[in-house]
Amino acid sequence: MNRRRLQGVRFSPGGMEQQGRRLRCVAAALIALAALAPAAAWSAQTGTLRVHNIFGSNMVIQRDKPITIWGWAALGGKVSVQFGQEKAQATAGEKEGRWEVTLPARPADAAGQKMVVTCGGQTIEMDNIVIGDVWVMNGQSNMAFGLAKIHGADMETAAADLPLLRCVGISPNESENLETDIPTEKLEPWTVSTPETAGDFSAIGYVFGSRLQRALRVPVGIIDNARGGASLESLVPRHKFKDHPLAAKYLESVVQRRAEFDWDAAVQKLIEKWEKTVAEQRKKGVSEDKLPPKPTRADLRSWSIPGRSPSDAASCYNGMFAVFKGLHIKGVLFHQGYNNAMSSACRPKRYRVLMKLMVEGWREDFQEPNLPVGVIGFCAGSISQTRDNFEAWSDSGGAYIREAQRLGLADVKDPEHTAFLPACDVQIPGLHPAKKVEHGERAARWALNRVYGMKIDWDSASLVSAERDGDCMVLTFDKKVMPDDMSTAIEGFSIADKSGKFYMAYAAWPQTKDAGVWNTPNKNFDATKVIVWSPLVKEPAAVRYAWATSPMGNLKVNGKPWLPLHNFRTDNWDWPESEDPAETLVDRGKGRAMQQEAAERLEYRKTEEARQAVEILKRLQTLGKKDPTAGKEAKGTTS
């Protein structure tokens, strides 16, 4: 057990004081009962006083909201809760001895205070509790990824002496049922940020929280409940699936798989492996008391159990998020995507629906109709797209998932309290890219600007129109889009005709004033427009930007490095997707065929560009510029 689990709370039955995170002073016979019964029921049966495990020493309580504390005790027990000078009482109810009290809302307070909970002769004390803002870090492993593992961890941890920044972590605890408490062994208790402890915090959570705490000068609490390998389906409140036909049909399939699941057959597979292992160990002379025990249902991995799997409806939400609903929070930062971007699992239409339902469900369950939600886009952890492999990496399920994240969030229709935060420009190969500081800082900029109203630079840009102009497409944006290094070379566009075959394209802004080698996009071009062209596409019909798992794309809103332009497309050629949850349209065979076709486009483009090199150079000299001989706009410009 982590050393920090044993710090903080004192239990004083009959005057005895014992250090420990949670109450453990019970008879040995009742410990056996606890292993068989739910914690809440066990508390009611044994008369043990408990508070929900989300509460503890060093925690941050949400400011400016009523303070609700709850737990369990003997049926009918009179529970008293004192926090600072405020006090409230409750009676443990008939439902598993649950009790709940609510104290008045308080403003931010950095002074550590004590909370004392008593019932009969039992006392729970929690120390050093502060009042500030509580943010949830939800998603999958790239959100949970620890600060100690990232690039720049040495500098971040060296500056982590932040007594008003605290974090609590919830380990994988997926469940097919809506849980009422977090098992003690699944909890990394509330911990104060120091250079020694911060390395265990979520990297994005630490960067986000530390920037907020320093700027706001109030306590900030981070709840890290991200689950590695979680699909979006597992993070959506179960009651929301009924709200859309696609989601409802998916939930029906989960219920059916659960009903058809053969527990005995699943356990038998474990037993067969166990028998082989035991036989081998016996041959080696291992004594009987050293052999592993025979597997039971309890040994089945959650991934193997329909309905409990981190890929299935609401499983992670049930045991890791909804489990502490009742606690007031300030907002949620979300980062996920890998498990839904894999070809066989990629269903962008369903993802878009579920993104909307997820945010709505959080707001309903936590009774915050305007709960701020920031979605960090699916990260770029694949091989980077370049001129040499452009088309080969352009058939990407990941690009469609990013689009679904952005559009699903937009479907909530609350731009004042939600934001999609593009992340695909921060690239490094691997499932867990070690670049996280950028994501946390961008999210902090959004929160400080939109949630807290501070004069911190944050913005986004949108495509206003896409029109054909001869053999070009002219895109218009509502803000300037240009590289943060002020380069005049635009990267990341592809273009297609009605065939739907996309090729890497050249792009330029309309020039307003020619300063020769001193040209920069912010001074010499109309950076609200981009002209896209390819010698391979004579009659363009559609354009895509940053359309790959780790795409090319160097445009930033107003040229600010922390404001990348999100990926987009102007077409409606969707990723192959069936409404039947059991049917996969992109299997290995289809995936290989898509890759082969993309490789052929790549080779064709390279061959044609080599053959037409002189003509391409001549065209690029006039793309976006006025025709100097005719005194009029050259093709591919706007007036």
Q: Model confidence over 102-130: pLDDT tens digits?
A: 999 999 999 999 999 999 999 999 999 99
* Strand pairing report for 18-20 and 556-557: unpaired
Token digits of residue 444: 């902090």
pLDDT at 36: 37
Q: Please, which pLDDT band fits residue 283 given cuts at 50, 70 and 90?
A: very high
Return phi, psi of residue 464, to 5°: -90, -40
The reported pLDDT for the residue numbered 382 is 82
Q: What is residue 264's three-state secondary structure? A: helix
Q: For the segment 26-77, what is each residue's pLDDT rounded down to a tens digit?
A: 333 333 334 334 555 656 677 899 999 999 999 999 999 999 999 999 999 9
The percent of residues in the chain predicted with pLDDT above 70, rounded, is 91
Q: Find the range with the poorest average confidence among 9-13, 242-246, 419-423, 536-540.
A: 9-13
Residue identified by tokens 């605890």 is: 173
The answer for residues whose C-beta is within 8 angstroms of residue 422's C-beta and 6 or more apart is 377, 402, 564, 565, 566, 567
Question: CA of 592: how far to CAs of 344, 397, 582, in Å?
Answer: 12, 13, 21
Contacts of the segment 9-13: beta carbons below 8 A, 24+ positions apart: 9/56, 9/57, 9/124, 9/125, 9/126, 10/123, 10/124, 10/125, 11/122, 11/123, 11/124, 12/122, 12/123, 12/125, 13/121, 13/122, 13/123
Classify the phi-psi angles of 548: left when phi > 0, otherwise alpha if psi is within -120 to 50, otherwise beta: beta
Report yes or no: 545 and 567 within 8 Å, Cβ to Cβ. yes
Asked whether the beta carbons of 153 and 44 are under 8 A apart, the reply is no
Taking Cα atoms as reference points, which of 463, 455, 501 lies closest to residue 479?
463
Pairing status of strand 187-193 against strand 556-557: unpaired
Q: Residue 433 has what pLDDT?
A: 86
Task: With cut-offs at 50, 70 and 90, classify the pLDDT of residue 639.
Answer: very low
**Whole-angstrom Cα distance, residue 409 to residue 376?**
11
Across the chain, how many H-helices and E-strands are there? 15, 28
What does the pLDDT average to over 220-225?
A: 98
Question: Which of 179, 236, 178, 230 lies closest to 359, judged by CA?
Answer: 236
Query: What is the residue extent of each domain of the chain?
Result: 262-304, 463-565+587-633
Q: Is the dihedral of CA 339, 342, 343, 347 positive or negative?
A: positive
pLDDT of residue 586: 93
SS3 at position 35: helix
> Of 193, 226, 205, 203, whose CA–CA distance to 147 is shortest?
203
Could you tell me the pLDDT band of residue 25, with boundaries at 50, 70 and 90? Answer: very low
Which one-letter DSSP state was computed for residue 516?
Answer: G
- Per-residue pLDDT averaged across 385-391, rounded? 96
Q: Is the pLDDT score of 195 beyond 60? A: yes
Tally Cβ neighbours within 10 Å of residue 287.
8
Listing DSSP states for 142-196 in one string gives HHH-BGGGSTTHHHHHHT--EEEEEEEEE-----SS--SS--GGGEEEEEEE-TT
Decide if 525 contacts 511 (C-beta within 8 A). yes
> What pLDDT, in 10s, does the model give residues 617-632?
999 999 998 754 444 4
Residue spans of beta strands (DSSP E) within 196-277: 220-224
Band the pLDDT of 22: cuts 50, 70, 90: very low
Residues sharing a CB contact under 8 Å with residue 607, sequence separation 6 or more, in sequence order: none
The pLDDT value recorded for residue 530 is 98
- The pLDDT assigned to 635 comes to 53
Looking at the DSSP bridge assignments, the partners of residue 463 are: 477
Spatial CA neighbour of 508 closest among 493, 489, 480, 483: 489
- Cβ atoms of residues 14 and 127 within 8 Å: no
Across residues 386-397, what is the average pLDDT? 93
- Note the pLDDT of residue 110: 98
d(CA 316, CA 309): 8
The mean of the pLDDT values for the chain is 91
Distances (CA, A) of 556 to 239, 324, 460, 528: 39, 38, 9, 11
Question: What is the Cα 248 distance to its own chain's centre?
Answer: 23
**Helix (H/G/I), strand (E/B), else coil: 60:** strand
Q: For residue 469, what are the β-bridge partners?
A: 472
Which tokens belong to 323? 């489990």
Across the range 442-448, mean pLDDT stands at 98
